[in-house]
């Protein structure tokens, strides 16, 4: 019996590592990897008996918190990957990160309390909006119409990243597109630089969000570290891919990630309400 349980646990650990590699790659060159990892964590937690859940918390809350371990290591790996290719501007990235960290603190507290049934419909609604943004790509037009400078520019960018941080601390899944859209519209720059700033911002606000989930007991370290190994590997591969292939291929991955993510969320939402 002990060998069977060990084999079962090892199978799930290898599953999480494999999913993590895919998610780390997608998150680094685009977004949406958490829409692979969170369902995978929920599946594993449901399958393994005697998962300890804090009072008032569900499997979704635990998966949401545990996923942050992988996000932390994934983005750290991605930062190193971009830096190894000479793509980094930490001074500017820090100024972009501060408002996102403040927002993520609020969002993480919300994320520890959100009921399971409310999680997926909210996320699906946001992702539909992101899909339209990605497909019709209004960023170039908006850059021409909305081009604040000086103090006004900094204030508008900070406010936008504050609200992005709330969402990221709350759910995380799909936040990459919100960061990309915000930086493309308000900060300019090509997608390679934008992706480098994106992983920097997410890395630092994840430190705060993870701490909050840990304080609520909504983290499983064994599953989280297993997933993190895969995410970090995929992130390193993705950061090198992003620099080597440039804007054109990142946009393709971005659109594919949006379509796949929205399709999965809509299906899960309809399933919750018994439509499918």
pLDDT in tens, 216-256: 989 999 899 999 999 888 888 877 776 665 556 656 665 67
Angle, in degrees to the nearest 10, between helices 221-245 and 59-84: 40
For residues 35 and 29, what is the distance between their CA atoms, to the nearest angstrom? 15
For residues 200 and 59, what is the distance between their CA atoms, to the nearest angstrom? 29
pLDDT under 70: residue ranges of the chain: 1-8, 30, 49-53, 55-57, 88, 116, 120, 123-124, 126-150, 188-190, 242-255, 257-258, 260-262, 264-266, 268-269, 272-276
How far out from the chain centre does Cα 228 lie? Answer: 13
Assess contact for 163 and 110: CB atoms under 8 A.
no
Question: Which candidate, 197, 234, 250, places its Cα nearest to that of 24?
Answer: 234
pLDDT at 173: 77
Question: Which candidate, 103, 100, 79, places its Cα nearest to that of 24?
Answer: 79
Domain edges within the chain? 2-47+54-272
pLDDT at 224: 92
The residue written with tokens 């909006």 in the block is: 129
Identify the burial level of 161 via C-beta atoms within 10 angstroms of its C-beta, where 0-12 means exposed, 13-18 middle and 19 or more buried. buried
pLDDT at 5: 42
**What's the pLDDT tens digit per position in 4-22?**
344 457 888 899 999 888 8
The residue written with tokens 């291929």 in the block is: 249
Query: Which distant-in-sequence residues (6+ apart) come within 8 Å of 180 by Cβ?
Result: 30, 31, 191, 194, 195, 198, 254
Q: Residue 171 — φ and ψ, nearest 5°?
A: -120, -40
For residue 187, the surrounding DSSP H or E stretch is none
Q: DSSP label at 88?
A: -
Query: Which tokens in the block code for residue 85?
Result: 């290719």
pLDDT at 4: 39
């Amino acid at each position: 019996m002990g060998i069977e349980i060990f084999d079962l646990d090892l199978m799930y650990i290898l599953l999480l590592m494999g999913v993590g590699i895919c998610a780390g790659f997608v998150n680094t060159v685009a977004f949406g990897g958490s829409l692979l990892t969170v369902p995978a964590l929920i599946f594993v937690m449901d399958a393994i008996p005697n998962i300890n859940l804090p009072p008032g918390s569900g499997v979704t809350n635990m998966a949401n918190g545990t996923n942050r371990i992988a996000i932390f290591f994934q983005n750290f790996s991605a930062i190193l990957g971009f830096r190894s290719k000479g793509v980094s501007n930490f001074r500017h990235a820090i100024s972009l990160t501060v408002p996102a960290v403040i927002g993520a603190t609020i969002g993480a507290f919300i994320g520890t309390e959100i009921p399971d049934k409310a999680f997926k419909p909210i996320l699906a609604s946001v992702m539909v909006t992101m899909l339209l943004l990605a497909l019709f790509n209004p960023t170039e037009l908006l850059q021409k119409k909305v081009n604040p400078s000086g103090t006004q520019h900094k204030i508008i960018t900070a406010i936008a990243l504050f609200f992005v941080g709330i969402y990221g601390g709350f759910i995380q899944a799909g936040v990459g597109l919100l960061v990309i859209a915000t930086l493309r519209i308000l900060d300019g720059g090509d997608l390679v630089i934008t992706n480098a700033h994106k992983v920097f911002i997410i890395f630092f606000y994840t430190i705060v969000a993870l701490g909050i989930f840990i304080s609520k007991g909504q983290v499983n370290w064994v599953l989280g570290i297993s997933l993190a190994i895969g995410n970090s590997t995929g992130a390193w591969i993705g950061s090198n891919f992003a620099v080597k292939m440039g804007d054109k291929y990142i946009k393709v991955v971005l659109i594919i990630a949006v379509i796949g993510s929205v399709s999965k969320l809509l299906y899960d939402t309809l399933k919750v309400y018994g439509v499918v």
